[in-house]
A = this chain, B = another copy of it.
Amino acid sequence: MTEIPKNHPRYESLMVREQIAAGVEKGITSSQGLIAQGRGEAFDYLIGEKTIDSADYAEAVAVCLLLLAENPVISVNGNAAALAPEDLVMLAQLTGAKLEVNLFHRTEERVKKIIGTLKESGADVVLGENAEPLLPLDHERAKVEREGIYDADVVFVPLEDGDRCKALTDMKKLVIAVDLNPLSRTAQTAHVSIVDNLKRALPNMINMIPDFRNMEEEDLWEIVNAYDNNVVLVDAVETIKENLTAKQNELLGIVEDSDKKDGKPGRKEPKKQARIQRDPEIARKVMMRGGDLMME
């Protein structure tokens, strides 16, 4: 591992890269996974490297769905396992979801290693070794476990391939995706698209669970039914455009309004602690803003 000087302006981001590169050495992450990580980084930079309100809202709806599901499954690939194994296990345990290792670049060895990593992080049972080609896709990518993803009603897929996401929705499963690119086929195909970094999304979702766990099913359904994924995606794209405009203004030496003066995108303000379950105002604002964008 190359030593990154602490005074490098992108020290933190470079360190995450080292972590995921370590995942490759352990045999958990594929080299394709590194490229996917890079794409995610670019979009994370553009959304400001923080959980935006519309992503926070999508995360709340995702928690509701996982709690409502009969047979929820969390699909785990190499990048997810390298980035946040403990949080994946905790989310599964707190929502009663099964964990299933499911790889685009599948090898039995990597499946085994990822299962091992999840078990080291506290998981009891991890599906994936007994996968059969049950999805309507070419052989290797079609593989899922019958009692896992195949039978699931809600599937949580961090960092998924667009084709497989579509195969799952075609099978009438409700799909929650985590994808920093709001324009990806995955983001546009999933029912709930979380445009956020997995490393921020998972702890945020875990923190929300106590507030939702004791709610009536009826109330959870109300939150789910009010959700419009397109509004959330349009809002994420709008955030990127706003951040780009701020950058253009910097390039042109234009000073921003006083309420934004003190920061660049991503450093504008500390992450808001308010969440939808405590503050339904956020959901209202997101929907309002989305509505305004739709009117334009």
Contacts and interface: CB of A to CB of B under 8 A. Distances in A.
As for how many copies of this chain the complex holds, the number is: 2
Interface string A2-42: 10010011100000010011001000000110111111111
Interface stretch (A65-73, A85-93, A167-175, A230-238): A230-238
Interface residues of A, number: 47
A130 interface: no
A162 interface: yes
Interface string A175-206: 00000010101001000000000000000000
A45 B21 CA distance: 24
Contacts of A43: 42
Contacts of A42: 38-43, 181
A285 interface: no
B185 A9 contact: yes
Interface centre among A17, A32, A37, A42 (most CB of B within 10 A): A42
22 contacts: A5-B141, A9-B162, A10-B162, A20-B35, A31-B34, A34-B34, A35-B37, A38-B38, A38-B40, A40-B42, A41-B42, A42-B42, A45-B183, A183-B247, A237-B247, A237-B248, A241-B241, A241-B244, A241-B245, A244-B244, A248-B293, A252-B294
